[in-house]
Structure formats: C-alpha cells, structure tokens
Chains A and B, each alone.
Chain A
C-alpha cells in the first residue's frame, strides 16, 4: 500500500532535549516536505526536498533541521525544542510535478514543556 509513514504519532518532551521525527515514503517520490499545523494558521511549510541531498527552507525553518540521505526518508530534527514548537507536524511527498498531488502522513503531535 502506498503510504507516508511518520513516527511517533505522539511525543511529549522537555525544552532542550533533542528529538527526531521520522518520515518514510514507499512511492519512490522525489519531493518531500514537512509542515506544521497550528489553530488559525493553517499549514506552514518548514523544509522541503526536491531530491536526495537537496533540501531548502520553507516559510518557518527556524529551530528545525532536515536531511535527505536516501530518497525514501526525510527526518525532521529539533536540536533544542522550545514550547513554541508545540504543534501538529505532517510529512508529505509527491512525484514532483505541477500536477502531482501531495501524499500526507498521519501526523505527529508534539508537546514541548
């Protein structure tokens, strides 16, 4: 089954403790992206990747890192999480054309205390 898999689904952590949210897709998609969803703000793009070893900043990249060493994986790293990073995070992928829809994971709800 074609899917985007994120882990974990829920994560509670403390300020400053490094964490990684994993994202994997099995559709051989070139394009992958991370979003955060906050009430009243919709979806905001954090980082995206057009292909292996190619990443770029989205609208809200501060406090986040990503890597794209393999085509299928695109982890999101928070080196020193802060409470303002408490949010619902989504990974998404597409085959990377103008007519290709995004495929989303089921989300990771992160709480930083």
Chain B
C-alpha cells in the first residue's frame, strides 16, 4: 500500500537557520503531495501542495518540489523563525482508482530557538 516516510524529529534550529525536512513516498502512479503544519494546540492546516511531477509548492517562505525520480517532496525554508515551531506532516493522496483517502507521515517536530 501507499506510505509516507518523514525524518524523525525533533529538529532543533536557531532562528534564521536553513530548514530541510525530508519526505519520501511509496505509491502507485503519481499521487498529489501535501505538507500540513500543526501549531501547538491547533489542528493541522495545509501549508503547500503539488499535484504533478516537477511542480513546486510554496507558502509563507516554505517550498517543496515534487520529484518523481526520487519519490520525494522535501520541505525547505531559507530562514526559520521562532513562530515556525510546529509539527510538520507530509501526506499523499493517490491518483485514480476512485480512492482519495490520504496517507500521512508520522510528523516532524520543529523547534526554533531565538
């Protein structure tokens, strides 16, 4: 079945550092790919998405590129802020077959220190 693997956390960075959170997936065909963010005490919210190969999703300074060759969708940000401290989830939704039930990674906690 489909699966999403994320790097384990927590990831601890200083403010203004560069962030990468790795995400790789296994799926039939070319799924849609998503990053969600969960701030403390809140539900998950969509951060960015890409629906086909080579697409780049971006939002709030975060970026991720859909790489079909490496089945990856790594999340990056050039300069993190304390307010970026949250849990980040990578997810996929399969294409075709009539099933659009998403599969989530286990989440990666990011802690940014001033």
B93: contacting residue among A4, A98, A103, CB under 8 A? A98
Report whether B106 and A41 are in contact in the complex, using a CB–CB cutoff of 8 Å: yes
Report whether B101 and A48 are in contact in the complex, using a CB–CB cutoff of 8 Å: yes
Given contacts A31-B100, A45-B101, A107-B43, contact A99 B93 (CB under 8 A): yes
Given contacts A99-B32, A99-B93, A101-B34, contact A42 B104 (CB under 8 A): yes
Residues of chain A at the chain B interface (Cβ within 8 Å): 4, 31, 33, 40-43, 45, 48, 90, 92, 94, 96-107
The interface residues of chain B, by DSSP majority, are classed as loop
Report whether B42 and A107 are in contact in the complex, using a CB–CB cutoff of 8 Å: yes
Report whether A42 and B105 are in contact in the complex, using a CB–CB cutoff of 8 Å: yes
Report whether B100 and A104 are in contact in the complex, using a CB–CB cutoff of 8 Å: no
B residues in contact with A48, CB < 8 Å: 101
Given contacts A41-B106, A43-B89, contact A98 B31 (CB under 8 A): yes
16 pairs from A and B in contact (CB 8 Å cutoff): A42-B89, A43-B104, A45-B101, A48-B101, A96-B100, A97-B100, A98-B93, A98-B94, A98-B96, A100-B100, A101-B36, A102-B46, A104-B36, A105-B43, A106-B43, A107-B41
Measured CB to CB, the closest approach of chain B to A60, in angstroms, equals: 13
In the assembly, what is the distance between CA of A101 and CA of B42, in Å? 17
A residues in contact with B94, CB < 8 Å: 98
Which chain A residue lies CB-closest to B45? A104
A residues in contact with B34, CB < 8 Å: 101
B51: contacting residue among A90, A99, A103, CB under 8 A? A99
Which chain A residue lies CB-closest to B49? A101
B43: contacting residue among A33, A90, A96, A97, CB under 8 A? A90
B residues in contact with A100, CB < 8 Å: 93, 100
Which chain A residue lies CB-closest to B107? A42
